[in-house]
Structure formats: C-alpha cells, structure tokens
Structure 1
Amino acid sequence: MMTFDLVLPTLVRACEAQPGFSDLERACAVRDLRGRVRLVVAPGARQASADVEVLVRGLEQALDAQLGRYFAAPILTTVRADEAGRLAREVLHASRPWDTASYEDPATGRQIDVAPGRWRVLERRLSKEVWLARAPSKPPWPLIPDVPSIVTFYSFKGGVGRTTALASCAWQLAREGRRVAAIDLDLEAPGLGALLGAETDRGVLDAIVDHLATGDVDIDGLVAPAQALGVEDAARVDVLPAGRLGVGYVEKLARLDFAAVGPWETDAMTPVEAALRALLRVIKKKLRPDAILLDARAGLHDLAGLSLHGLAHVDVLVTRASEQAHQGFDLTVQALGLRKPAAELRSVVVHSFAPSKSAPALRAAEREQMLQRSYESFDDYVYTAYTEDAPALEDETAAHFPWMISQDPDLERFASISAVKDKLLSEEYQALKRRIDALCRPEQPDGDDEEQE
C-alpha cells in the first residue's frame, strides 16, 4: 500500500530507474496540500525534444503504476512555450535544492542517496512552515548593546512550568531595577496576564488583527503593570496579556493567517509574523524595556515555532524527564538546528519537576538521564557542525546542559503569585536566570546596527 511517507522515495526510485532520466538537467517534485505529487523536469542540453517526450510518457506510466492516486499527471516540462511551460519554469525557480533525495533499494534494502544537483523539491503546506524552514533565523533586531534581548520560553508539553519560569525571570529582573516587557503569545490558552495580575482592555491578539487590517500597531490599552509582584516591582514589568476572553476573542483568533502570502513564497513572511515584528518594534520604542520575555504556545503550533525560530535571541526550552517530553524535545532541537547554526544558537534547557533534594538518589538518577538525553539530541542535530572540540557532556555553558527546577507542590497550585515569592526567587530559579543573563550578553557590533526585517 502506498502511504504519505513512501511517496517521495518511491517517486525518486521510479525516476532514477527510467532510461534517459539521468540526462535531465533538473527534476522537481511538487507535493500539494493533500500530499499528491507532480513532477516538473528541465531537459539537458543534449536531449532532443522527441527523446524528452518519450521519457515523459514512460515516467507518467511508471509513476501512475507505483504511486496510484498520489501521482498527479501530467508531467510539466520547461521546453514548452505555452502556459504549462511557463508554470514549469516558475515552479523550478521557486523550488529549493533537494540534497537529501534518496530511496531504498528493493533488492538489497540499502539506502541509496542520489547524486546531488539534479533534484529539487517544492512543498505546499497550509501551516507549520516556520517549523520546517531552513532559512537562518532573523530576530527583529540584532542583539547589540542598548537594545532589549528577546527571550522565548517554550515547552513541547503544557503544564511543565514554562510560564512560571518566565514569571520568576521577570520578577528577578525587576528586583534588579531592570525594565521588562512580558508578552503572552499562548493565544489559544492564555494565562500570563492572570498570573501576573495584569488586566487590560485589549491584548496581543487585538494588536495582531488590527495590523492585519490596517498595517498599524497601537499599544494603547494593551499594557498593564504586573500588579501581583507588588507595587515597586510591578512598575518595572509591563505585561501584554493575550486579550479579553469571550466569543469576540475566538472571532479574532479565527482570523489569524499563518500561511505564506503566495503559492510559491514559502520563505515569505506571514501576516502574523509581520504583525508581531511590528508590535515588538513599537514595544522597543515606547516601553524601552531591557528585556522582552515571550510566553510561547506549547507544542508544534505556528506561534510557538515563530517565537522560537523567528523572533527570539535566546530560547528557554522547558521540559521534564518523561518519554513524551523527551520525544517532543528531540523534535524541537532538530527544528532549531535547521534554523540556528551551533555557533549562533543561544539556548538553555530547563529540567522542570525534578525530584526534590530530599531524595538525592532519585534526583541524581533523573539528572543523569536528562543530561544524557539532552546531549544526544543536541549532538544529533546541532553539534554535528563541530569538526572538533564539541561541548563536553558536563559543560554548564553548553546549550544541552539542563538546569534543574525541583518539583514543588506549592508551585503547582496557588491563589496568588505573591504567596510563593520565596519559591520563585529560590537559588534554582536564580541560577537559571543567571544563565539566561549570560546568553543575553550583546554581540559585538559589526558596523551594521540597522534593524533586521
């Protein structure tokens, strides 16, 4: 039976086996939103038109037989002078090199990597582009002196203490006299505003939908102090809640568009990304924070991917020692490795819900397990860039090193954040904040301090 996962390898194998295929200059696999594939080819300089027609007919028969309904005929060629030829050339121009094209040899079971250079691919997706893209990450501005760092707090699974860690970091920064902007980007399950005691007339969602319609951002009515931190500290923490919950909130949420702006513009900025970048620039200019903390949506949500891969200078990855969490963490690191080279990746792993210090044996065993699993993920997807001198397992300055936050029943349920102040300012949270501070140290200016777009 043909399945989604088998389509592309089967396509490559069928094409590579076809006589005359190796003479083509280019071949592009185009996969549509339903998972069906179409083939676009560009003949080689020495291929006659009649030979190309014979090759295309043979390919169509082979692909129809092997892929069934997953194959969408006809095969497009660039040699034609009609609309089909123009479309073929446009597709090839929009596609990207497919250097990982491969298939399994049915006779031996060996993985066959095809020669690089000929194959290209174009994937049509409704969403999740930000999780699959390979273009380098570009925050709204470079991390240089006198500009706020942007720190994303992310977790693959919810309920692991992500928002609590953000609140602790914001509180510690405020106690040091620094200004903070805390932004709730968990738009589908918001809670940061309530946690920090900030109530506003409008929210982040309102700013996004207004920008979608007008191209402008206005933060009036969008910002409130973190009253739950006490008068003095609250004045230094500006909170931007998600918005007022109600049917109207859902109406606005339904209008977010994470798809790219055109059928072939997979690397183009989405409308939501453009709105969030504009919002961050206004916050930087009007609120003048020392740090901007983003509470990201959990899981593989587009907003989560955008927060991690598109907006942040520093990524705080909050996870716990469970198999579900490990699998999600592994995927998160893999996606980060595609967008952020090892030398540029600024991230810290938070091992939450760790066993208490009162159970030293259990704590040590779980720490070792978490450290090893985290190192393996980074070694597979990030540290491969190191030809030598890769980070050591116990290197506390390395991206993989997990910072432990002990499980505390008082932090799992509390009426007011002020009631657990001592817990949120514990030595473990202070150590985590010091590590985040170290990662937020500005880069040396290279003469180009313009904001990135």
Structure 2
Amino acid sequence: MSYQTIPDRLLTWLDVERVFKRETALWSQLPSGVHAIRCYSDGAEIEHSAALADVQAWLKQVFGRAWKIDECGIQLRTGATPYPVALSPVPATTAAAPAVRPYPLWREVTYLPDLTDRPLSDDGLAQSGMPALWADGPRLVSFHSFKGGVGRTTALMTYALARLKLDLRPGKALRVLVVDADLEAPGVTLWLDDANRPEVSYLQFLEAMHYPPQSVDSSLDYFAQALRKTAVNLSGSAQRELFVLPAALSLADIQDMPVQPGHLARNPANPWILTDHLHALGKRLGVDVVLIDLRAGLSEFSSPVLFDPRVDHFFVTTVARQAVEGTATVLERLHAFNSRLPSDWRGDAKPSLVLSLLTDTLRKLPDYSAAVDRLNSAYPATEDQTTGLEWLEADFAEPLMSISALSQALEVLKNAPRLFQHAQDWAKTLDAPEAVVAPSPAQTADAPKDKARRLEAVCQRMQFAETSQASEMLVTEPLRKLGRYFVTELPHLVSVGAKGAGKTFTFLQLCRAGSWHAFLSKLDTQADGVADALIFPALWSREFETPTKVLMDSRRQTCLTSLGSRAKLLGETAIYRAIAEALQTPPAHWDDFWDDLIAQHFGLPVGQGLEPLNQQLATHDASVVLVFDGLEDAFPNPKHEAARAAIESLMRLPDRLLELTSRRLGAVVFVRADYVQAAIQQNVAQFLARYSPFVLQWNPESFLRLAYWLASQAEIVGQDTPAELLGQEALLTRLTALWGRKMGSDQSKEALSARWVFASLCDLKGNLQARDLVRFLRFAAELEKDRSSNTWQDRVLAPESMRKAIPKCSTDKVTEAIREIEPLKHWLDTLAAWPEREMPFRAQDVGLAEQPQLLTALQELGVIYEDPKDSPGAPRLYLPEIYRAGLGFKTSTTGRTRTLSLLKSNAGLPF
C-alpha cells in the first residue's frame, strides 16, 4: 500500500490495525526500539524505548499524511477526531513482545512476507510453530478452489475412486475417508442416500473435538464407530471401503455453528489440532488416505487445513479470469507460508493444480496460456527447468455435470478423461500394490471334466438353502452391513430380498452359528460391546429336511436350557396350526398373537407381552436373537387381509423390542420383497428405506464374487485369496479358468463370457438372484461333464454347455416360481390360450390388456419390462432371458438386439 493510498483506506480503527500488521509482518518485525503495539477500538498504544522523534518519524513513514503529530493520532476518513495513539516510554531493558506464531488463518497468513530469498536461519519464524510430522497413519489430502462450480468435489471423488480401484495385494485393504468440510455449500453430503448417511457430521466433529464430553479419544472412537456403520463397500468388497463424514446432518445445522475450524486453529498449544484429529480419525478407521473437500474462497473454514504443510493440497480451477485470479492469490499466500518451512519439507509441500473443464477449443484460446502463466508465477519454482506446481488437466465431460448421488459418482468418475489416469498414478504412490496373481499351473492340472463334476456337486449342495447342509458362506455387502450395524447392540431388523436372493441361506447360517458373536465372526466382524446372544429360530420353512429341523430344535433347546427352563419345545406343527387358526379367526391385535407365540416358545404365560421373557433373560444374564423365516409357507397369500395384518405386525416386531427396558431380545425377520409390498399399505418406501442397508441384492461385481466363490469351492480357481479381497478386474481374470474370456476363442467376436452370463441371468433392470447363478453353473457343469468333445481345455465350461444351460435354468426357475408367486402362476394359466408367443409383445397379445393389475404385478416382480421409448400400440413388452424360455416365448430378431439395448441403457452392461 503506497503513501498516497493509505489515508484513503482508513475508515475505522480496524484499518489502522491492518496497516500495523502488514508493516510489522504480523507483529514479528517491530522497528528498533518499539516493544509492543496494541490496537483497541478507542485508541492504540505503542510501548517504546526509542526516542520519541524516531517513533513519530516511523509513524509518519507508515501512515503518511494521515499521521497527525499535533493530535498524536491517525486521521480516519469517517470522523473529524483522529484515532488516538498513546506513545508509552519503557526502559530499554524491557523485553520485546514475544514473536507471534502465526495461526493457520487467513487473517494472519495474509500479513506474512515471502521468505524464499532469505536465509531461514536469519528469520525468527523459520521453523517456529510448524507441526510435528505424523509417524504413521493415513495421508491427508485436501481439495480447494477459489470459486465453486469448477469441479472440485468431482476431482476429489475421482481420486477416491482411483485409490479404491487399485488391485489388492493379499491381506491388503483399501480404505478411504472423505470429509465434506464445505460448511457453507456441502457437496458430497448431498450425494449421500439413507443407506450410507452416517449419524455424525463434520460440524459435530468440530464441536466434539473442541468441547469433548469425556475425552478426545472417546469422541474419536465414537465417530469412527459411527462411520463404520455406513461405509460404502465398493462393489461389495470388504477390502474396498469408502467412509464419508458429511458436513452436517441437515442444512439447518450449518445455520448455527458455534464451533468453526478457526476456533480449533486458535489453540495456542497446537494450531494444527484439527488436522491432527482428522488424521487420528482416519487412523482409527484404518484408511489409507483422508480426502478433505474444503470450502471455496478465502475462508477460515478451510485455512486450518489449507496451510498445514503435512497435507497434500490440490487446487482446482478453470481458465476463467475470476477463478484464476482467486486461485493465484491463494497460491501466493501458500507459497509465502511454505517459505517458512525447513528446506527438506518444501518439496513435499508442493501443491498440485487441476485445470478443469478443458476442451480442445479452450486450449487454443489466449485465456489458457494466460492462466498457465499467472498460476505458475503465483507459486514459483526454486529451481530452473521445473514448475512450482504439479500440473494436471481435467477435460470437460457432460456426465460429470449432473452427478446427484454417491453411487452415480463412483460409477461415472472412472470414465473421466485424463484426470482418472492422473488419479490412478497418484493412488499407486501411496503404496506399491503387488500384481494380481494369475492361476498357477497346479490349479489347472486337473482335467476340465473332473472340475465340472466338482462344480456340479458344489452347486447342487448350494442351490436350495432348505436342503443344503453347507456351512460356508460368501460375505456380501448387505451381510457385512448387518454385522457392522450391530456390533454394539442386539440386532433388530427386517432383511428384505427377492426369492432366491439368499434369505433362507442367511437364516440357516445364523442358526448354524448358534450365537450372535459366532455369526459376527463369520462376517469377519469383531463384536464391540454387544452381548453374545443365542440364536433362537422362532419360525422356519416347512420345506427343511430332517437334519435341518433337528438343528432348529437343538438351537431352541440350548436357549431354554440356558434359562433353566424345562418347557417342552413348541413343535413345527403346533406353530403352523396356531398361525392357521389365527388366520381363520384373526385376533384383535396381531402384536399380541406374535408376543404370545414367542412366550409359548419359552414356556411362559401368554397375554403378558414380551417383558416377562426379557426379565427372565436378564435374571439369567442371557440374551436371545429371535430369527424368523418361512413366511411364504405360513402365509401363502400375503394379500389376504388377515395375512397382510399378520405379516405387517411381525415386521414391526423389531420396533416393539426397542420399547423393552434393558433389552435382552433381538430379532431378525427375513421376508420376501413382494410380501413387504403387499403387507405395508402406507409409507412402504419409508419402511424399505429404514432397512435398505440390509436388503439382500446382487450387483455385477458381487455376481462375479459369487461365481468365483463357487469355483473356489470346487477347486477350479485358487483358494489363496478369498473372494472378498479381489476386485472386479482380478475376478474377471481368474474366472477365465471357469468360463474363458469370451463365448468363443479370444480372437473371436463373440461376447465376453462374464457379460454374457450376467445378461442371460438378470432382469432388464440389472437385478440378479444368487440362486439363478448357482443353478446356471450346476446345469452348465452337468452338461459339460457329459459332453463328448474334449475341446476348450483352457476352461471348465465350454460355450455350448453354457448356452444350453440357460433354457434349462429358465424352465426350472419358472417351474419353481409359479409354486410360490401367484401372479406368475395366474399369467401362465392365461397364456395357455396363446400357444404362439413371441417377444416383444403387446398386453392384448398375451391376455394382460384386461388385467392391468396383473401386468403391474409382473412388472414389479421383474418378469415383464415395458419399453417407454417404443411407440404406443407397438409391441413394447419384453421378458428377461431367465424367464423367456420357461414361459415359452420365442424371440424375434428385433427382440434380441432390443433386449440387450434395454439392459445396457437401464443397468449398463458390465465388464
């Protein structure tokens, strides 16, 4: 600020203080003989031992004509009376005010001079106040922009995805924590859905760290535990976890922020305490990297992180002049701050700059060159032939402009041009992951037909949970969430899934585990305070074979024995008779019916609710988890009013258990998705959202994981690495030993095998049931072991065996489904009048025009899909391949290509 402009800028006493701060480099470079300067609203005080004339001369030099020597004050433009300055003499021996350690706040950093050209040993602030380096734990990375809307959050999530997409080494997990620290305009926060929105926020984190209720450690433990519950497992892998700490739980919270990042940065003992706490949180979560999305602009919401030299900083800007000038200012101040670092720190503190939303046209404009020059000059290099910044570029891409959900971001960002490659290179620098291990010769030594026999046996054992005695299980994301949510309390939930999704299988795994701790152990989850409750099967399928029914009785008897009860086990026949009689003569309240049935299980009096059972469990220091399955057997018609009320009441049981004092009872209710739709007449979407983390469903990568797991059980692929530890590319590579790379030779133009299988088994929205894959592999293996040719020695399943297996799968699926799904049975009966069936078709062609409710039900089940893009009146109804053959439909040429097109547009053909 020049002599001429200073008087014109002095409007209030705060302007005077700003001038003093700038001239003294934030009080650190006081003139000789001046010991202290203090500014207040009613005047300033200068303590000095120098001659009065020297001090006045210095003030004249600083303030020019605004300094009024006669009034001993500084003239402000807003008043006639000068701002008084008291010049207080002190002895020369008086110690000067201690050097002020600058806090990482804009209001202080802005006054620091750039010391790049000064010997650090000559500067009192050279190493003063710099934070201690972290010895271990995650790397912290910040993303900042001067303006919003330049792609900062998109860039951050690209780097998160790149890290999570790396190939895994054996025993290595990839975990990332994303912190939405934009407390004025949250970005990642608004991408979260109910299933992965934690019950804690960054705003609460600041408050808990500033005012810890008990201790910082206990608060950190709490936040880590809460974030674990809502971790996003990339493609269902337990070893690829994304934790997100949202800015706030609601936008209303950020309108009242008593604690802000700047408050923590004002800690005189440790101005870097905020990043220390974030590092500690990441360490507790076991993450590799903490990515922090900072508030845009020159904000104190961002500065405590922005000026920490231990944090790896990325700045995102476009070539627009406003964005460039603002970013340049930030970089200049960061350069000045970093000039105080020891020389061996400066290289690590070098920031990265992402020039975003670029097009080929923009690169040819003068604005591009001007931006590069301006930004390079803002953070100059200290050596020739280098740049002070790491330069990265991100091209404009329309799909990145409309991201509205975290799942969408994780899907589209991997296709971001240029930047994703940069991000992958960066991600590899965090460690040195080993290459994926290819199948060894020993794993392929057996003849393919021997392997096919083993695969058939494995799938025969696994296909139907009711008849399976298998104790092995694949830990999928819903199961992992089930364990993660209930490590501190007894489970109380409804697990929803379509037929064949794994409900009964999971029910049996719970029963075989015998206790909640044992089940958590199966999920590779450590109990954290939850009681080791016994598993009590309260309702199960009547289709179970005798060994399984013996297991049910054994588990129930163990529970009764633990309570010292001599009650006789309530038999399966008695349970189903009680339900049948209640359906004939419905009780006044179905809640009472279920409570009484549970009480009868334990030999307790009926009519008193669940409190007596809970008290008895407490008396014996025992806990029990009630598990329910087999609703399809107990209630064949869920739309019958009495059945509907009974099912709804049972699904509300987990809520009723929460009303118990010192609860010793838990409950897991397994129910088919269409039963939920039939039973819940109001707010069904809200009900499903509550239990969305536990919905048993399969996505493309979990489909691969299941195929690999089954193949490993049959010793077709190596068992050196569990299925849960492998990413999509590794799974695809290893599964070539099962079904090859293509449905033909690698040089052919046939479809990729994994994609072909997925497209053949899923519905036209990309939904797939585990049982269908198990059934397909069983049929394909059965066909393969009987195939006379010895071709295709590079795989177990030949293409012809796989192709022939699909119609057999479809026939079996329809035969099985019509026994339990009334709308499908009704439609198949209707189809008898239409022996010639071709897809696509119109509703009137297959007896559905007069039955709109039936058509709607079939669409909800995923049996029929209507293409809205087809013209009205044209054939626009389609069947997924898994239903087509079983329902007796042929496919027209148009139908074949359109089916794949629909699947690609609706779900994206994976792999």
* TM bracket, shorter-chain basis: 0.5 to 0.7
Distance 1:63 1:370, change over 3 A: farther
Q: Does 1:74 align with 2:86?
A: yes
- In the other structure, the counterpart of 2:243 is 238
Letter in 1 for 2:372: L
Give the secondary structure class of the aligned counterpart of 1:315.
strand
- Decide whether the 8 Å contact of 2:177 with 2:287 is kept in 1: yes
Superposed counterparts of 1:15-94, under 5 Å? 25-27=32-34, 30=37, 32=39, 37-43=44-50, 52=51, 62=69, 64=71, 67-69=74-76, 71-79=83-91, 89=94, 92-94=96-98
In structure 1, which of residues 221, 245, 252 is the aligned counterpart of residue 226 of structure 2?
Answer: 221
Q: Distance in 2 between matches of 1:10 and 1:275?
A: 30
- Decide whether the 8 Å contact of 1:184 with 1:190 is kept in 2: yes
Superposed counterparts of 1:191-206, under 5 Å? 191-195=187-191, 197=193, 198-206=196-204
Give the secondary structure class of the aligned counterpart of 1:205.
helix
- In the other structure, the counterpart of 2:389 is 400
Q: Does 1:277 align with 2:283?
A: no
Q: Does 1:3 align with 2:4?
A: no
Q: Distance in 2 between matches of 1:261 and 1:309?
A: 11
Cα shift readout 1:260-319 (whole Å, capped 9, x = no counterpart): 898xx9x7645xx534522421331x1121111111111111131111112643110101
- Decide whether the 8 Å contact of 2:232 with 2:243 is kept in 1: no
Give the secondary structure class of the aligned counterpart of 1:72.
strand
Superposed counterparts of 1:348-367, under 5 Å? 348-355=352-359, 360-365=360-365, 366-367=367-368
Cα shift readout 1:335-392 (whole Å, capped 9, x = no counterpart): 111222454422111001112xxxx35323354333222222223xxx3xx3xx4244
- Decide whether the 8 Å contact of 1:371 with 1:401 is kept in 2: no
Letter in 2 for 1:32: C
Distance 1:260 1:433, change over 3 A: closer
> 1:55 Cα deviation (Å)?
6.6
- Decide whether the 8 Å contact of 1:222 with 1:240 is kept in 2: yes
Give the secondary structure class of the aligned counterpart of 2:97.
helix
Q: Does 1:180 align with 2:176?
A: yes
Q: Distance in 2 between matches of 1:73 and 1:124?
A: 27
Q: Distance in 1 between matches of 2:421 and 2:270?
A: 36
Give the secondary structure class of the aligned counterpart of 1:79.
coil
Q: Distance in 1 between matches of 2:309 and 2:55?
A: 44
Give the secondary structure class of the aligned counterpart of 2:86.
coil
- In the other structure, the counterpart of 1:119 is none
- Decide whether the 8 Å contact of 2:144 with 2:152 is kept in 1: yes
Q: Distance in 2 between matches of 1:402 and 1:333?
A: 13
In the alignment, structure 1 segments of 5+ residues that lack a partner are 13-23, 44-51, 97-121, 393-397, 443-453
Q: Distance in 2 between matches of 1:179 and 1:141?
A: 22
Q: Distance in 2 between matches of 1:349 and 1:39?
A: 43
- In the other structure, the counterpart of 2:133 is 141
- Decide whether the 8 Å contact of 1:175 with 1:233 is kept in 2: no
Letter in 1 for 2:89: T
> 1:37 Cα deviation (Å)?
4.8
Give the secondary structure class of the aligned counterpart of 1:179.
strand
Q: Does 1:303 align with 2:307?
A: no
Q: Distance in 1 between matches of 2:415 and 2:42?
A: 50
Q: Does 1:390 align with 2:380?
A: no
> 1:159 Cα deviation (Å)?
1.2
Over the matched positions of the two proteins, sequence identity in percent amounts to: 19
In structure 1, which of residues 332, 335, 339 is the aligned counterpart of residue 333 of structure 2?
Answer: 335
- In the other structure, the counterpart of 1:322 is 320
- In the other structure, the counterpart of 1:161 is 151
- In the other structure, the counterpart of 1:189 is 185
Task: Indicate the structure whose relative CO is greater, using CA pairs within 8 Å and at least 6 residues apart.
Answer: 1
Give the secondary structure class of the aligned counterpart of 1:373.
helix
> 1:419 Cα deviation (Å)?
4.1
Q: Distance in 2 between matches of 1:131 and 1:403?
A: 27
Give the secondary structure class of the aligned counterpart of 1:335.
helix
> 1:95 Cα deviation (Å)?
4.3
Give the secondary structure class of the aligned counterpart of 2:243.
strand
Cα shift readout 1:48-78 (whole Å, capped 9, x = no counterpart): xxxx467778979628467225643211232
- Decide whether the 8 Å contact of 1:39 with 1:75 is kept in 2: yes
TM-score, normalized by length of structure 2?
A: 0.35
Distance 1:237 1:93, change over 3 A: same
In structure 2, which of residues 101, 107, 115 is the aligned counterpart of residue 128 of structure 1?
Answer: 107
TM-score, normalized by length of structure 1?
A: 0.67
Give the secondary structure class of the aligned counterpart of 2:69.
helix
Give the secondary structure class of the aligned counterpart of 1:93.
coil
Q: Distance in 1 between matches of 2:42 and 2:373?
A: 37
Q: Distance in 1 between matches of 2:391 and 2:357?
A: 12
> 1:433 Cα deviation (Å)?
1.2
Distance 1:149 1:347, change over 3 A: same
Give the secondary structure class of the aligned counterpart of 2:290.
strand
Distance 1:232 1:64, change over 3 A: farther
Q: Distance in 1 between matches of 2:280 and 2:40?
A: 34
Count of matched residue positions in the alignment of Structure 1 and Structure 2: 365
- In the other structure, the counterpart of 1:429 is 419
Distance 1:254 1:141, change over 3 A: same
Distance 1:139 1:41, change over 3 A: closer
Letter in 1 for 2:379: F
- In the other structure, the counterpart of 2:351 is 347
Q: Distance in 1 between matches of 2:246 and 2:43?
A: 41
Distance 1:78 1:169, change over 3 A: same
Q: Distance in 2 between matches of 1:375 and 1:125?
A: 23
Distance 1:288 1:160, change over 3 A: same
- In the other structure, the counterpart of 1:104 is none
Give the secondary structure class of the aligned counterpart of 1:303.
coil
Distance 1:228 1:213, change over 3 A: same
- The Cα RMSD (Å) is 4.1
- Decide whether the 8 Å contact of 1:200 with 1:243 is kept in 2: no
Q: Distance in 2 between matches of 1:138 and 1:55?
A: 35
